[in-house]
Amino acid sequence: MSHQLTRQDLRLLEKYRIQRLRQLFPKTLGLCLLKLDNNDTLRVHCPEPWLVDRIIDDADHLLDSTRQTLGVRHISLYYAGEEVYKTKTRRAKSISA
Protein backbone atom coordinates (compact mmCIF):
# COMPACT_ATOMS: atom_id res chain seq x y z
CA MET A 1 0.00 0.00 0.00
CA SER A 2 1.42 3.35 -1.06
CA HIS A 3 1.49 6.21 1.44
CA GLN A 4 2.11 9.10 -0.91
CA LEU A 5 0.65 12.49 -0.14
CA THR A 6 -1.59 14.13 -2.71
CA ARG A 7 -1.51 17.84 -3.54
CA GLN A 8 -4.65 18.23 -1.46
CA ASP A 9 -2.93 16.52 1.49
CA LEU A 10 0.07 18.84 1.16
CA ARG A 11 -2.14 21.94 1.01
CA LEU A 12 -3.99 20.79 4.12
CA LEU A 13 -0.72 20.21 5.99
CA GLU A 14 0.50 23.66 4.94
CA LYS A 15 -2.74 25.20 6.19
CA TYR A 16 -2.36 23.48 9.58
CA ARG A 17 1.28 24.55 9.90
CA ILE A 18 0.34 28.17 9.20
CA GLN A 19 -2.51 27.95 11.73
CA ARG A 20 -0.04 26.64 14.31
CA LEU A 21 2.30 29.57 13.69
CA ARG A 22 -0.63 31.99 14.01
CA GLN A 23 -1.49 30.44 17.38
CA LEU A 24 2.03 31.17 18.61
CA PHE A 25 1.72 34.88 17.66
CA PRO A 26 -2.02 35.65 17.79
CA LYS A 27 -1.72 39.39 18.46
CA THR A 28 0.40 40.03 15.37
CA LEU A 29 0.28 37.19 12.84
CA GLY A 30 -3.39 36.62 13.64
CA LEU A 31 -4.13 39.96 11.98
CA CYS A 32 -1.92 39.45 8.91
CA LEU A 33 -2.24 37.46 5.71
CA LEU A 34 0.35 34.67 5.57
CA LYS A 35 1.51 33.03 2.34
CA LEU A 36 4.21 30.49 1.60
CA ASP A 37 5.95 30.79 -1.74
CA ASN A 38 8.07 28.39 -3.77
CA ASN A 39 11.30 30.13 -2.71
CA ASP A 40 11.11 28.92 0.92
CA THR A 41 9.79 32.31 2.02
CA LEU A 42 6.94 33.16 4.34
CA ARG A 43 5.29 36.35 3.10
CA VAL A 44 3.49 38.27 5.84
CA HIS A 45 1.12 40.96 4.56
CA CYS A 46 0.29 43.38 7.38
CA PRO A 47 -2.72 45.73 7.22
CA GLU A 48 -1.23 48.20 9.72
CA PRO A 49 2.31 49.62 10.11
CA TRP A 50 2.35 48.98 13.88
CA LEU A 51 2.03 45.24 13.14
CA VAL A 52 5.23 45.37 11.08
CA ASP A 53 7.00 47.13 13.98
CA ARG A 54 5.75 44.59 16.49
CA ILE A 55 6.76 41.62 14.35
CA ILE A 56 10.25 43.08 13.89
CA ASP A 57 10.51 43.66 17.66
CA ASP A 58 9.66 39.98 18.21
CA ALA A 59 11.89 38.79 15.34
CA ASP A 60 14.21 36.48 17.31
CA HIS A 61 11.37 34.33 18.61
CA LEU A 62 9.46 34.56 15.33
CA LEU A 63 12.46 33.46 13.24
CA ASP A 64 13.04 30.34 15.33
CA SER A 65 9.35 29.45 15.45
CA THR A 66 8.87 30.00 11.73
CA ARG A 67 11.88 27.88 10.83
CA GLN A 68 10.72 25.05 13.12
CA THR A 69 7.02 25.19 12.23
CA LEU A 70 7.15 25.87 8.49
CA GLY A 71 10.71 25.00 7.52
CA VAL A 72 11.14 28.20 5.50
CA ARG A 73 14.45 29.99 4.99
CA HIS A 74 13.22 33.60 4.77
CA ILE A 75 10.50 35.86 6.10
CA SER A 76 9.30 38.90 4.15
CA LEU A 77 7.07 41.54 5.70
CA TYR A 78 4.80 43.61 3.49
CA TYR A 79 2.82 46.75 4.15
CA ALA A 80 0.64 48.44 1.51
CA GLY A 81 1.82 45.94 -1.10
CA GLU A 82 5.51 46.78 -0.62
CA GLU A 83 8.16 44.55 0.92
CA VAL A 84 9.46 46.50 3.92
CA TYR A 85 11.61 43.86 5.63
CA LYS A 86 13.23 40.56 4.69
CA THR A 87 15.48 38.31 6.72
CA LYS A 88 16.74 34.76 6.93
CA THR A 89 15.16 32.50 9.53
CA ARG A 90 18.55 31.05 10.43
CA ARG A 91 21.06 33.65 11.51
CA ALA A 92 24.76 33.09 11.14
CA LYS A 93 26.36 32.16 14.43
CA SER A 94 29.19 34.37 15.54
CA ILE A 95 32.39 32.72 16.69
CA SER A 96 33.81 34.23 19.84
CA ALA A 97 37.46 33.81 20.70
Q: Is residue 36 part of a domain?
A: yes
Q: Convert the pLDDT of each residue in 23-61 to its tens digit.
A: 999 999 999 999 999 889 999 999 999 999 999 999 889
Q: Is residue 56 part of a domain?
A: yes
User: Facing residues of 78 across strands?
Assistant: 45, 83
Mapped onto helix, strand or coil, the DSSP state of residue 81 is: coil
Residue 78 · residue 46 · CB < 8 Å: yes
For residue 70, the enclosing domain spans 31-87
What domain count does the chain have?
A: 1
pLDDT for the residue 53: 96
pLDDT for the residue 93: 61
Q: Convert the pLDDT of each residue in 63-83 to its tens digit.
A: 999 999 999 999 999 999 999
pLDDT for the residue 3: 81
* pTM for the whole structure: 0.84
Phi/psi of residue 81, nearest 5 degrees = 80, 0
What is the sign, positive or negative, of the torsion defined by CA atoms of 23, 75, 70, 15?
A: positive
